[in-house]
Every structure is written in C-alpha cells, then in structure tokens.
C-alpha cells in the first residue's frame, strides 16, 4: 500500500516537473538556449492566479486563464527584450542574461508581493480525495488532475508540433535556423510562439504545483525549475516525449528514495541518477545524436 501511494505521489510530482520541463525543452530545441528564468515565470503565474482569485474574487479556473495570459505575454516580452537582441552573440551571453532575468523576476516579486508566504487555495478545493483499499490508499484530486493535465498537454503538444503548419515551422527552425529562413519561415515569429506556449504552460504548472504544495513565496519556482531542467536533460533536452519521461522518472525516483532509502539522500540520489544517465547516454534518454557538420 505504501508502494502504491508513493507511486502516485511520484507520478503527481513528476507530472509537475514534466510540464515545467516542456518549457525548457521546447525553448532549447528551437533556440539552443537554456531559459533559466522559466522557473520564475511559474512563480509569477502562481502569484497572478492567487491575486486574481483571492483579491478579485475570481473563479479559480478563470484565474488560471488570466495567469496563462499574463505569463504568455511575459514570456514573449522576456524573449523580445532580453534574448532576441543577443541572438547570434554566443550561448554564454544569453545564458547569463537568463540568470539575470531569473533574479530580476524574483526580486520584482519580492518588491510587489513581499516576503511573507501566501497560502495558495487549491484549484480543486472541495473535491474529495478518492479512498481505496479500505482507506489505506488516498488519492487526492490534485494528483489525479495533475497527472491527467500532463498527459493531455503532452498529446496536444505532440500533435501541434507534428501536424500543424506552425509546428512544422518550429521543427524546421530547430533543425536549421538559416535554412528555415531561406525557405520563407519567419524565425522570430516561430521563436516567439515557442516562448508563448512554454510560458503559458508554466502558468498551468505553477497553479497545479501550488494546488498540491500551497506555500507561495518569491523563490517558489527556483527549486522546481532546477529539478525540471534536470528532468529535461534526463529525458534528452529538445525532445517533447523526453521531457515527459524525464519528469515522471525524476519524480518517482525522488519520492521513492525519500520513502525507502533516506529523506536526506533523496536529492543526491536524483542528481546521481542524472550523472549516470549522462555518462551512459550523453544526449539523455530520448535525445537525438546530432552530427555537427563542418
């Protein structure tokens, strides 16, 4: 029973990581940069949703839509102001800028909302948990919805990337930026679209995460952001199914090491697994090996 409830906790935590990891992996896939500010966009999404529902009395689901809208705009804005001017200057400059944006967002949140923790009201408040096996196993509504949301997002996104024109353009840009431009694809638009989707999903991840783990502070997004980045690398950065598998595996490893091995060593085990995977498969579980052409 302990095993099953740990598995469900692991899947639910892993699903949050997977949704966040999508943002990292898509942005990396298309513009070959690590957007370290992604974790903080999650935090902004959660705050916006909190303010909408607590201070303006909005319905939780409506607040989620507003948060998605704000984060989408924020993502596009960050890309336009901070990353686009640096495109073509080498990865180091963009990476440092991303860290700068991350600090900027955290401190902006500190200024606007202060350091006092807020307690996020769950989107699924009032939905009773499912009891199974004679009350031994409790599955919360948060877990079910998080896992379901993860699966739906994954399917829709895969279809979008593979079946639509915009998705095709995104794949073309990620494969060869220059050639895509020559074929008449608007590269800037494709990259903006990627940031928009990734940041919109960040708002969903923020709300789902804070529904399960309700403490909201300006650094709420930092640690999950790093874990999700690890998940993206684990699954093969640049690959959408990789982000999902990486996230789920990471969540399960984390919960199982806490439950069965040691709560103190859990993080060490998680990152240890990452090192092993990267030693055996440097491109991650589902990553493609790209041959550099000279």
Partner 1 sequence: MKKTWTKVVVVALSCMMAFVMASCGGGGGSSDAEGGALHIGVIGPFTGGAALYGTAVKNGAELAVNEINANNPDGLQLVMDAQDDEHDAEKSVNAYNKLVDDGMQVLIGPTTSTPATAVAAEADANRTFLLTPSGSSPDVTAGHDNVFQLCFSDPNQGIASAEYMAANFADAKVGVIYKNDDNYSTGIYNKFNAEWEAQGKKVVAAETFTDGVTDFSAQLNSLKNAGADLVFLPIYYDAASNILTQADKMGYAPKFFGCDGMDGILSMEGFDTSLAEGLMLLTPFTPYSEDAKSKAFTEAYQEAYGELPIQFAADSYDCVYAIYDAFQKTGLDASASMADICEALIAQFTGDFVASGITADEMKWNANGEVEKTPKVCEIQDGKYVEK
| Positions that interact with partner 1 (CB under 8 A) | 2, 5-6, 9, 13, 50, 54, 91-92, 95-96, 99-100, 103, 110, 115-121, 129, 131, 135, 138, 140, 142, 209, 212-217, 222-224, 254-255, 258-259, 263-264, 267
- The least distance separating partner 1 from the CB of residue 292, rounded to whole angstroms, comes to 13
Instruction: Give the relative orientation of helices 187-212 and 2-31 as an angle to the nearest 10 degrees.
Output: 160
The 10 Å CB-count burial string (b at 16+, else e) for 150-178 is beebbeebeeebeeeeebebbebbbeebe
Angle 63-145-3 from CA coordinates, rounded to 5°: 145
User: Smaller CB distance to partner 1: residue 49 or 239?
Assistant: 49
- The least distance separating partner 1 from the CB of residue 114, rounded to whole angstroms, comes to 8
- The least distance separating partner 1 from the CB of residue 225, rounded to whole angstroms, comes to 11
Beta pairing partners, 138: 131
Provide the CA 58 distance to its chain's centre, in angstroms.
25
- The least distance separating partner 1 from the CB of residue 204, rounded to whole angstroms, comes to 17
CB–CB of 19/204 below 8 Å? yes
User: Smaller CB distance to partner 1: residue 135 or 184?
Assistant: 135
User: Smaller CB distance to partner 1: residue 129 or 167?
Assistant: 129
User: Smaller CB distance to partner 1: residue 224 or 246?
Assistant: 224
Nearest in space to 18 (alpha carbons), one of 290, 286, 289: 286
- The least distance separating partner 1 from the CB of residue 237, rounded to whole angstroms, comes to 12
């Amino acid at each position: 029973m302990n095993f099953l409830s740990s598995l469900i906790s692991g899947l639910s935590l892993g699903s949050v990581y997977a949704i966040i990891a999508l943002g990292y992996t898509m942005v990396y896939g298309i513009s070959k940069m690590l957007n370290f500010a992604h974790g903080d966009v999650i935090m902004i999404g959660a705050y916006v949703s909190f303010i909408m529902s607590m201070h303006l009395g909005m319905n939780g689901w409506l607040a989620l839509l507003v948060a998605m809208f704000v984060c989408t705009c924020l993502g596009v804005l960050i890309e336009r102001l901070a990353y686009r001017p640096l495109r073509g200057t080498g990865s180091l400059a963009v990476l440092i800028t991303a860290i700068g944006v991350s600090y900027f967002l955290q401190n902006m949140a500190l200024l606007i909302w202060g350091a006092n923790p807020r307690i996020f009201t769950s989107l699924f408040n009032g939905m009773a948990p499912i009891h199974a096996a004679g009350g031994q196993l409790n599955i919360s509504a948060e877990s079910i919805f998080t896992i379901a949301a993860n699966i739906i997002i994954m399917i829709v996104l895969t279809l979008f990337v593979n079946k639509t024109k915009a998705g095709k353009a995104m794949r073309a840009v990620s494969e060869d930026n220059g050639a895509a431009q020559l074929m008449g694809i608007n590269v800037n638009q494709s990259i903006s679209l990627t940031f928009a989707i990734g940041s919109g999903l960040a708002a969903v991840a923020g709300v789902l995460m804070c529904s399960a783990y309700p403490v909201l502070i300006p650094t709420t997004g930092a640690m999950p952001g790093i874990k999700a980045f690890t998940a993206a690398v684990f699954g093969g950065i640049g690959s959408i199914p990789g982000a999902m598998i990486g996230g789920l595996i990471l969540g399960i490893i984390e919960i199982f090491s806490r439950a069965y091995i040691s709560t103190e060593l859990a993080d060490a085990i998680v990152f240890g697994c990452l090192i092993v995977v990267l030693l055996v498969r440097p491109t991650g579980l589902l990553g493609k090996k790209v041959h550099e052409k000279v």
